[in-house]
Chains A and B, each alone.
Chain A
Amino acid sequence: MLQVQGLRYRAGNFALQEVSLDIEAGEYFALLGPTGSGKTLLIQNICGLIRADGGSILIEGRDVTRLAPRMRDIGYVPQDYGLFPHLNVERNVVFGLRARGVPMREARERIRGLVETLQLGRLLNRSTRGLSGGERQKVALARALAIRPKLLMLDEPVSALDESIRQTVCAELCRLQRELRIATVHVTHSFEEALAVSDRAGIMREGRLVQTGPMSQLMRRPADEGIARFLRIENIFRGRAISAHPGGTIVEAGGRRIAVPGQRTGEVVFMIRPTDVEVSPASEEIEARGENAFVGELAAITERGAYSRLEFNAGITIVTYAIPGRAHCVFETGGKYLMTLPREAIHVFDNPMP
C-alpha cells in the first residue's frame, strides 16, 4: 500500500536518513519515537508538505515522490487538528470535496455516512470555536476521510486530549479504522498509545527508523538498549560472558551467574521484561538447584494504581510488577523472596548501544 524507500531529507542540523517503510492495505501502523526523532518530518514528506531530498514514496505502486500533496490521496490530521476557524463544522468537513469542485449539495450527500459514523450530526451548523477537544478531533477526522483517501495520517491524534478520555478515543479510532479498512499511520511518542491502537509499529530515533515489527516483538525483542529504554523496559543488565552452556552462555552480572540464550563472548547486555520475572517465597534450596533463581530482598514497593512495582535487591536490581490481592505471596519491604528469570524470556542485545 505505502512503500517508502531510502527517504532522505535534511532540515538544518537534523536529517531523515535512508528511511524505508512498508505499510500494508488496511493496516494500523504506529510510528513511535521520542520528541525530535523525525516522526512529523517523515509524515510531512509522505504527505508532500515538504519535498524529500532523495529516495522514493510509492502509494499503491504509484511513485508520488514528486507529486503535489493534492495528488497523493492522503488524509492528514495534524496534531492540533487544524480546523479552519472561518468555516463552520459542515464547511470544514466538506472542504476537500469543495476544493475538488464538488457542488455543495452533492458534498453534503457524500459526507452523510461519515457524519453518522462519527456522530457529528448535531454539530454541523456550529462554529468550530466552541467545540471540545474530542469533537474537534472528530471533525478533523471527518474532513480527512471525506476525500476518501487511500491512506490516513494521524499526527499525535490524542496528545491534545485530556488524559482521562485518551483511551476511549484510541478505542474509537481503532473501531473506525477497522470499519473503514483504511491504511492508517498513527504518530505518537507514547508506547502505551501505540499498543492500544496498532497492529505493527516502527520506532524512530535521530532521523532513522531503527526497528519495525509487531508490537509483541518490539516489546520482547527490542533491537538495542536504546529502544528498550524508550519502551521503558526496566530490567536491563550488563555482564561478562564467562563460559559456554548447552544452548546458551553463562554471564556474570553484579556477582550473579545468569544463563542467557545464544553463544556470547565479552561484554553482554541483556534484558527481561518485569512481567516475565517469576517471584515466590524465598527458598535457599531452589536457589541452589534452579537456573537463574536468586534470593533477594524486597527494597521498595511503589503503587502504580492498578498494580505495584516491586524492586528487589539480589546483587542485581530486579523489577517486577504485582497486582494487589492476586499475587502468590504477601510482599513486605525488607522481606526475602525468590526470583526466577526464565532463560527463554531473556533477550540479549546484539548491538547493545546504538
Chain B
Amino acid sequence: MFGSSGRDERKEMTAAGPRIHPLSVISMTFVFVFIAIVVALIAADLSYIGLGDVSAALAAPEIRAAIRLSAVTSLATLLLVALFGAPTGYALSRYRFPGRGIADTIVDMPIVLPPLIIGVSLLVFFQTDPGKWIETHGLKFVYTRKGIVLCQFLCSVSYAIRAAKASFDSDNQKLETLALTLGCTPMQAFRMVALPLARNGIVAGAILAWAHAVGIFGPLMVFAGCVRMKTEVLPTAIYLELSVGRIETALAIALLMLALAACMLAAIHRLAPGKRW
C-alpha cells in the first residue's frame, strides 16, 4: 500500500496489451528517424575531420583564447544565473502578488524571443539615457567582454528560473509550512527544507542555462562583436573560421562543443532524472 510509485504504475500500464501494435510501430519509427538524423550529422562531422585537425585547432592561439573566453564568460554567467534562478523561482512559486501572471510571462520571454532581438535591444538600450549613464559610470558593456556575459545571462537565465520554479512547485510547500510549526523562521524553512529539496532541480536548471549560454551567437555578434582575441568566444570562432573557409577548424570547435553539451546533458539527467523542461 505504501510506497507504490508512479514508476510502478507506468510499468503496469506499459506491460498491458501487446508490445507490437500499429501505434507503437508508428511512434517508435519517428523516434528512430530523429535519432538517425542526429547520429548522421555527428558521423558526418567526425568523418570530415581527423584527430590531427582537432589537435591543430586546439593548438592555435586564437582558438585557445576563444576557449578561455568562453569558459570565463559562461562561468560568470553561470554564477549570475545561479544567483538569480533560485530566489526568482522561489518567489514566483510561493508568493501571490499583483501582476504575478505578467511577471511569469516576462520571465519566459527570453526563451521564446529570437536571441538576436535580445542583442539588438541591448544595443538600443545602451544608446538611451539610462544606458549611457551606466556606460559612463564604469560599467561598459557594448563591444566588451562584460557585454558577452550580459548577453549570455539574458538569453539563458529564464531556463534556470523555470527549472527552479518547477522544483519549488513540486509539493514541497507543505513541508516548508510544517517546518514553521517545528520552530523554523521562514528563512530557516527555506534553507533547511525548500532549498535542499529543490537543489537537484536548481542545479540541473543552472547547467541547462550554462549549456545554452555557451552556445549563444547571434546577440554576441550584434552587441559584443567578434573581434579576434578580444570578444571571440567558441560560437563566434566557428563563424570566423567558416567565413575564411577553414571548415576543419570550425568542425573541430563544433565537436568540442558537442562533447561539452553531452557532458552537461548527462549531468542534468543524473541530477534530475525524469524532469521535463
Contacts and interface: CB of A to CB of B under 8 A. Distances in A.
Does A pair with B? yes
Contacts of B3: 129-130
A78 B193 CA distance: 16
Interface stretch (B11-19, B123-131, B179-187): B179-187
Interface in B161-193: 174-175, 177-185, 188, 192-193
B183 A82 contact: no
A74 B181 contact: yes
Given A48-B181, A132-B2, A99 B192 contact: yes
Interface residues of B, number: 19
A96 interface: yes
A133 B188 CA distance: 28
Nearest to B195: A86
Given A49-B177, A76-B178, A70 B1 contact: no
B184 A99 contact: yes
A136 B1 CA distance: 13
B172 to A, nearest CB: 9
Given A76-B178, A78-B174, A86 B197 contact: yes
Nearest to B186: A68
A84 B175 contact: yes
Interface string A86-113: 1000000001111110000000000000
Contacts of B175: 82, 84
Contacts of B273: none
A84 B193 contact: yes
**DSSP majority for the B interface?**
helix
A246 interface: no
A49 B181 contact: yes
A95 B189 CA distance: 11
Contacts of A129: 3
Nearest to A80: B174
Contacts of B182: 70, 95-96, 99, 143-144, 147
Given A86-B196, A130-B3, A133-B1, A70 B185 contact: yes
Question: Of B174, B181, B196, which is in contact with the most chain A CB atoms at under 10 Å from its CB?
Answer: B181
Contacts of B177: 49
Contact of B188 (A47, A78, A99): A99
B178 A82 contact: yes
A200 B261 CA distance: 64
Given A84-B175, A84-B193, A86-B196, A76 B181 contact: yes
Contacts of A84: 175, 179, 193, 197
Given A86-B196, A99-B192, A47 B181 contact: yes
> Max chain B CB contacts within 10 Å: which of A69, A95, A133, A144?
A69
A203 to B, nearest CB: 25
B180 A49 contact: yes
Nearest to B182: A96
A86 to B, nearest CB: 5
A179 interface: no
A162 interface: yes
A154 to B, nearest CB: 13
Interface string A41-83: 0000001110000000000000000001110101110101010
Contacts of A47: 181
A111 B52 CA distance: 66
Contact of A70 (B2, B181, B193, B197): B181
A73 to B, nearest CB: 9
Interface string A138-161: 000001100100000000000000
A97 B182 CA distance: 8
A162 B1 contact: yes
Nearest to B185: A70
A68 B196 contact: no
A244 to B, nearest CB: 57
A130 B182 CA distance: 23
B179 A95 contact: yes
Given A129-B3, A133-B1, A100 B183 contact: yes
A89 B183 CA distance: 18
A315 B183 CA distance: 62
Nearest to B177: A49
Contacts of B178: 76, 78, 82
12 contacts: A69-B181, A70-B185, A75-B181, A82-B175, A95-B192, A97-B183, A99-B179, A99-B182, A99-B188, A99-B192, A133-B1, A144-B182
Interface of A: 47-49, 68-70, 72, 74-76, 78, 80, 82, 84-86, 95-100, 129-133, 136, 143-144, 147, 162
What are the 9 A-B residue pairs with the smallest beta carbon separation, nearest first? A96-B182, A99-B183, A69-B180, A76-B181, A82-B178, A99-B184, A69-B181, A70-B183, A96-B183
Given A76-B178, A131-B2, 15 more contacts: A48-B181, A49-B180, A69-B180, A72-B181, A74-B181, A76-B181, A80-B174, A82-B178, A84-B179, A84-B193, A86-B197, A96-B182, A99-B182, A100-B183, A162-B1
